[in-house]
Structure 1
Amino acid sequence: MGEEAIARGEEANAGEEEEEATPSDGVRRRRGKCRTQASMPPDTKAREDRRQRLVAVDLGGIWLLGFASCLLSVLMAALVNCGGSDDICPGGPLFSNLTDSSLLLSLTRDVYCPPRKRSRVAAPLIFKAAEKVAEKKQQPRSIDTLPDECLFEILRRLPGDKERSNSACVSKRWLMLLGSIRPSELAARKKLSNESVKKFVPDLNKDLTFDEQEIENNGYLTRRLDAEEATDIRLASIALGTCSRGGLGKLFIRGSNSTRVTDVGLSSIAHGCPSLRVLSLWKVSLITDCGLSEIADGCPLLEKLDLCQCPLISDKGLIAVAQKCPNLTTLTIESCSSIGNEGLRAIGQCCPKLKSITIKDCLHVGDQGITSLVSSASSSLERIKLQTLTISDIALAVIGHYGKNVTDLSLIGLPNVNEKGFWVMGNTLGLQKLRSISITSCNGLTDIGLQAIAKGSPSLRQLLVHKSCYLSDAGLSAFADTAKALENLHLEDCNRITLVGILGAILKCSRVIKSVSLVRCLGIKDINFAAATQLPSCMSLRSLTIRDCPGVTSASLELVGKICPQLQNIDLSGQAGVTDASLIPLFESSEVGFVEVNLSGCVNVTDDLVAMLVKAHGSSLKMLNLHGCKKITDRSLLAIADSCSLLDDLDLSSCSVGDYGVAILASARQLNLHTLSLASCSKVTLKSLPFLGNLGRSLSGLNLQNSSLISTNGMRFLEEKLWWCDILS
C-alpha cells in the first residue's frame, strides 16, 4: 500500500510497546502497554481508531491481491493447457487488448509471461478449470447442436437451388436433410411485383417471353450408377447438384448384392428431380413400395420405368406409379417376385399413353393381369414382350383380339401356351398392324398356329422362330402362302425345316423378301435338284445367313446362287464343309456384286477363292471376314491390295499371313482400311511394326491380341505412330 499507511503503522507500534528499564538482575524486558480506552486521552483514542481502520483496509487489499493471483494462475494454466507439450511457448503480454486485462488488474498495468515450456500447477481447482475449458473447446459449434427439426426449418428457407446445392457440401447431415425436403415444403420466394419493377427498370424486352424455371429444369441430364457407386449419399448429391444445372432427366442404377440404395436415396431423387422422365432400377434389393411411391409423387413426368430384380416392390408401388404418372409410355418388369396382376391392371387403366410393355420372369403375373392390361390399353399399346410366364391360351386370345395397334410381339418361354392359343390369336383377326413377331421356346407353336398367325397379320414383315421342335416345311410353306409382305425370315434351332421348305418360302415371297437367316438348323442338308435351271429366281433377296448348319455343302450353295442372283451379303460362318468348289459358283452367279462376305470358320477356303472373289467383286466389297481360315496366306493379301478399293473391314485372325503380307497392305495406296484384325497370327513378327505404322490415317481399330508383336517397346512404337487408332492387345 502507500508510504503513508506504512508510517502510520510504525507510529502505532511505537506507542504500543516501550522498553522497560533494566531491573536489578540486569535483564532488560519488553512489555506492552495495557492501557484501556477509558484511560486514553481523546486524541490518542481517535488516533487508535484510525489505525485499526487502516489495518483492515490493508488486509482487504492483501486478500484481493491473493484472489487475483489465484485467478490469474487458473487462467494461465488453462491457456497453456496443463497437459502441456514439448513445444516452447514464447513470452509476451497475456492480454493483447487492455480492455481484457482490466478485468483483473489496473488499466495501467500488464502482466508479462516469461518463456517457458509448460506450466505445472498442483492445485485441484486449476485442473478442474482447465478441464472445463478443454470441454468447452471440444463442444460443436452452435448450429451443429440444433436438432434436425430446427435445421430443417432453416434449410428449407434457402432462396434458390444453387444455395441449397452449396449448403449440401457442408456435411452429410445437411446433405440428407436437404434431400428430404419436398418441393411443397420449400418456403415461397419473395418476388418483386411487375409494377415495382417498372418503377426502377425499363422494359427492354417487352415482347420476349422467358420462363427461367422451365429452362433450368428441362431434364436433359443423364446419370448412371454402377455397383458400388450406387449409395443414398450419391443419390442425394445428384438430386441437389442437378437441379440447378438443367435438371435430371434420366437415371440408371445398376446395383449388386452389396448395393446399399434404399428408399431414402430414391426419395431424394423424387424431391429434387421433378423433371425425371426415365428411371431404371436393376438389382436394388432394398428399394420398397415407399421409395417408388415417392418417385410417383415427385416425378409426374415419368415416361419410362424399368424394374429388374427388385423383390420388395409390389403391386402397391406399381399402382402409385399408375395413378400419379399418366405420361408413362414404357414399362419393363423383370424378376420382380412381388408384382402381380393388380399392378398391371392399374397400369392399363390409368396410363392412356402406354406403348410398350415387357414382363419377364414374374411368378405372380398370370392371365388376369395380362388380359386386363392389354384390353385396357388397346388403343395405345404397340409393343408386347412376354417371357417366362405362367400365362395360358387365354392371354394369347386376348392379345389377338385387343392388340389392334400392336406392331411388335415377342413370346419367349411360355410352357402353358398350346396350339390352340396361337390358332385363336391368329384367327381373331385383331393383329392387323403386326409387323414383327418373335417366338422362342414355345412348344405350342405348330404348323397350324403359324398359318393362323399369317392369316391374322396381313402386315407382317418379320418372322423369328427359335427352338421350335414341331414346326416343319408344311407349316413354313403355308405361312409363306399367306404372308405376302414377309421381308425377313430367321429360323434358329428348327430341326424339322429342310432346304426344300426354305427355298419354297423364298420363291413364294420372291417379290418382297430381303433377308433369310438359318442358324443351327440340322435339317438343312444338300439336295440334288436336277431341274434347278427351270426354277424361278428371287430377285429381292439381298442377304443370306447359313451358320452352323453342317449339312450344307457344295450342291446347296450352288443352287442358292442360281435362285438368288441379287445377293449382296453372305454369312457362312462355321461351315467347315464348305470348299472353294462350292463357293465359286455362288460368287460367280451374283449380278450386283457382293458387299459383305463372312467366311469365318471355313477352314477349307484357300487363296484361290479369295483371289477369285476380290477380282469379281473388289469394286463393291466393303467387309471380308476370314477368321480361322488357316489356308489363307500372303498371296490373298496381294490380291486384296490390287483389287479392293472400298474395303474398310478386314479380319485375318488366325490366318497364315506374315510380315510380307502386312507390308503389302501398308503399301497399297487405294486401300483405306478402318478396321484390321491380326489376332493370333503367329507369322506376323516385330518386322511388321514399321509397316503397321504406315497404314494410314483412316485406320481406327487394330486388333493384335495373342500376337508376337505385343511387347512394351512395340506397343509404345505403335501408340506413337498410330496415336489416333484404338489398338487392342
Structure 2
Amino acid sequence: METHISCLFPEILAIIFSYLDVKDKGRVAQVCTAWRDASYHKSVWRGVEAKLHLRRANPSLFPSLQSRGIKKVQILSLRRSLSYVIQGMPRIENLNLCGCFNLTDNGLGHAFVQDLPSLRVLNLSLCKQIGDASLGRIARHLKGLEVLELGGCSNISNAGLLLVAWGLQRLKSLNLRSCRHVSDVGIGHLAGVTHGTAKGCLALEKLTLQDCQKLSDLSLKHVAKGLGGLQVLNLSFCGGISDAGMVHLARMSRLGSLNLRSCDNISDAGVMHLAAGSPRLWGLDLSFCDKIGDQSLAHVAQGLDRLRSLSLCSCRVSDDGVDRMVRQMHRLTTLNIGQCVRITDKGLELIAEHLTQLTGIDLYGCTKITKRGLERITRLPCLKVLNLGLWQMTDGDRVR
C-alpha cells in the first residue's frame, strides 16, 4: 500500500525539509498548514544564516526568525538603525555586517547599550567608519565574543586594541587586515605585555595582521611572549618584519600555519630559524618573497617535514632546491610553485616520484615545463587539482 507524503509525521517532514536550500525551505512553508508547521521546526533551520536587506519596518521579521531558531544574521544593506536588529534578536550568536559602509561609531553605540552574552561572532570588515569608540562598546558589552573581524577598518588604532585586550578575554580569532594605524604597541596590548593596563587576549588561536605596515619584529616578540596558544598567524604584506622576527616565531610550539606572502625582508636565513624551532608547522606560505631560494627548501626538508601545505609562488627556487626537499616531505598534500620559472620537467619528475600524497599543485606561469613533465604529474594517485592558469600547450609541447 502506497503512503502519500501528506501522511508523514511532522518530525519526518522536518528531517526531509532540513536538506533543502534556504529558498526551498521557505517555499515548502507555503504549500499547506501541515508543511508550514513542519518547516518552522528549529531542526530545519539549524545553522542557517539569514541574509537581510533592512530597508523598512517589518514587525513580523524578527519574531519569525526567532521562532525558527535562527541565530546567524548577515545584513546586506543597512538603512535602518542597527539597534533594530539587536532589539529584535537579543539572543543572536553571529552578526555579519561586512560592507555596511554607512555604519558609524554613533550607530553602533546606540545598538550596543547592554550586555549581549550570546553573541560569539561579529564581522565588521570594511565598515570603514568604525573606530576605537566602537571597540570600547564591544569590549564592554560583548564579553563572550570569540571571533572579531575588523579587516579594512582603517580607523582602528592601538588605543582600540587596548580596549579589546581589556574586555574580550575569550577572543579566539581576530582579523586586523589593513588596519594601517596598528603598530607594535597595539600588538603588545593584545599579548598582555603592557603591564598594568590589560591582561591581553591570551586565548587567541588565530591572528590576521595582513598589510599592517607599521609592524616590526618587536610585534613578533610580543606575540611569541604572550600568545603562546596561537595556531594560525597571517603576516602577509608586512614589509617591516625580517629574518630576526622568525627567531621569536620559532619558539611558538603550537603554531601550525604561518603566512609570510610578500614579506620582502624574509630570506633563506629566516626559514632556517623557523626550521630550527617550529617542527609543528603544517602550512607555510612564502610566495613572492624574492629572497627565498633553494637553500630554504633544504631547511624545510631538515626541520619542517610535517608540512602539508607549502606555497613558493614566484620564489627563486629551481630543480636543485626541489631535489633537496622532496625526499623528506612525504606528508605534503598541497604545493604551489606557480611562476617559479626555474622549475623544469626534472623538478616535476622529482615531485611525481616522491610527493605521492599530493592532492593539489599550482604550476601557473612555469614556462620551462613541457608535456613530458605534466604527464608525470598527472599520474600522481591522489591528485585532484592541477592549476596551469591560461598557459597552453603548443605544437612543440612547451608551456608558454
| 1:626 CA displacement | 1.7
Aligned amino acid, residue 278 of structure 1:
L
Checking the alignment, whether the CA contact within 8 Å between 1:658 and 1:684 is kept in structure 2 is: yes
What SS does structure 2 have at the residue aligned with 1:437? Answer: strand
Alignment of 1:410 with 2:96, yes or no, is: yes
| Distance (Å, rounded) in 2 between the aligned partners of 1:643 and 1:293 | 56
Checking the alignment, whether the CA contact within 8 Å between 2:344 and 2:369 is kept in structure 1 is: no
Instruction: Report the TM-score, using the length of structure 2 for normalisation.
Output: 0.77
- Equivalence map 1:337-416=2 (5 Å): 356-360=49-53, 365-366=55-56, 368-369=57-58, 372-374=60-62, 377-378=65-66, 380-392=69-81, 396-414=82-100
What is residue 455 of structure 1 aligned with on the other side?
Answer: 140
Deviations 1:612-665 (A, max 9, x none): 3212223x2222222122222222222322333322222222222222222233
What is residue 383 of structure 2 aligned with on the other side?
Answer: 725
What SS does structure 1 have at the residue aligned with 2:31? Answer: helix
The 1:385/1:418 distance shift into structure 2, 3 A limit, reads same
Checking the alignment, whether the CA contact within 8 Å between 1:404 and 1:432 is kept in structure 2 is: no
Alignment of 1:651 with 2:340, yes or no, is: no
Deviations 1:307-327 (A, max 9, x none): xxxxxxxxxxxxxxxxx4662
> Of the candidates 638, 654, 676, which is equivalent to residue 298 of structure 2?
638
The 1:641/1:413 distance shift into structure 2, 3 A limit, reads closer
| 1:694 CA displacement | 1.0
The CA RMSD over aligned residues, in Å, is 4.1
The 1:536/1:683 distance shift into structure 2, 3 A limit, reads same
What SS does structure 2 have at the residue aligned with 1:636? Answer: helix
Higher RCO, Cα 8 Å, sep 6+: 2
Deviations 1:348-375 (A, max 9, x none): xxx9999752114x7xx32x12x54225
The 1:329/1:355 distance shift into structure 2, 3 A limit, reads farther
What is residue 576 of structure 1 aligned with on the other side?
Answer: 239
| Distance (Å, rounded) in 2 between the aligned partners of 1:686 and 1:352 | 51
- Equivalence map 1:636-715=2 (5 Å): 636-666=296-326, 668-669=327-328, 671-715=330-374
Instruction: Report the TM-score, using the length of structure 1 for normalisation.
Output: 0.45
Checking the alignment, whether the CA contact within 8 Å between 1:571 and 1:599 is kept in structure 2 is: yes
What is residue 30 of structure 2 aligned with on the other side?
Answer: 296
Q: Which runs of 5 or more residues in structure 1 are unaligned?
A: 1-190, 192-210, 219-246, 251-274, 283-291, 302-323, 331-350, 509-530
Q: Which runs of 5 or more residues in structure 2 are unaligned?
A: 389-400
| Distance (Å, rounded) in 2 between the aligned partners of 1:352 and 1:602 | 43
Aligned amino acid, residue 186 of structure 2:
G
Deviations 1:435-471 (A, max 9, x none): 1222245466454444334433342222223444554
What is residue 478 of structure 1 aligned with on the other side?
Answer: 163
| Distance (Å, rounded) in 2 between the aligned partners of 1:709 and 1:453 | 53
| Distance (Å, rounded) in 2 between the aligned partners of 1:633 and 1:702 | 19
Identity %: 24
What is residue 394 of structure 2 aligned with on the other side?
Answer: none
Higher helix share: 1
What is residue 316 of structure 1 aligned with on the other side?
Answer: none
What is residue 27 of structure 1 aligned with on the other side?
Answer: none
The 1:398/1:432 distance shift into structure 2, 3 A limit, reads farther
| Distance (Å, rounded) in 2 between the aligned partners of 1:400 and 1:294 | 29
Deviations 1:474-523 (A, max 9, x none): 44433543333333222344445444234324429xxxxxxxxxxxxxxx
Deviations 1:290-322 (A, max 9, x none): xx9798227964xxxxxxxxxxxxxxxxxxxxx
| Distance (Å, rounded) in 1 between the aligned partners of 2:293 and 2:45 | 62
Alignment of 1:621 with 2:284, yes or no, is: no
Deviations 1:226-270 (A, max 9, x none): xxxxxxxxxxxxxxxxxxxxx9x99xxxxxxxxxxxxxxxxxxxx
| Distance (Å, rounded) in 2 between the aligned partners of 1:465 and 1:696 | 38
Checking the alignment, whether the CA contact within 8 Å between 1:568 and 1:596 is kept in structure 2 is: yes
Checking the alignment, whether the CA contact within 8 Å between 2:305 and 2:328 is kept in structure 1 is: no
- Equivalence map 1:433-452=2 (5 Å): 433-442=118-127, 445-452=130-137
| Distance (Å, rounded) in 2 between the aligned partners of 1:328 and 1:596 | 41
What SS does structure 2 have at the residue aligned with 1:650? Answer: strand
- Equivalence map 1:602-613=2 (5 Å): 602-613=263-274
Aligned amino acid, residue 353 of structure 2:
N
| 1:383 CA displacement | 1.9
| Distance (Å, rounded) in 2 between the aligned partners of 1:601 and 1:412 | 26
What is residue 174 of structure 2 aligned with on the other side?
Answer: 489
Deviations 1:531-580 (A, max 9, x none): 99xx9897644443321122223343334434445544332211234322
The 1:627/1:387 distance shift into structure 2, 3 A limit, reads same
Aligned amino acid, residue 465 of structure 1:
L
| 1:593 CA displacement | 5.5
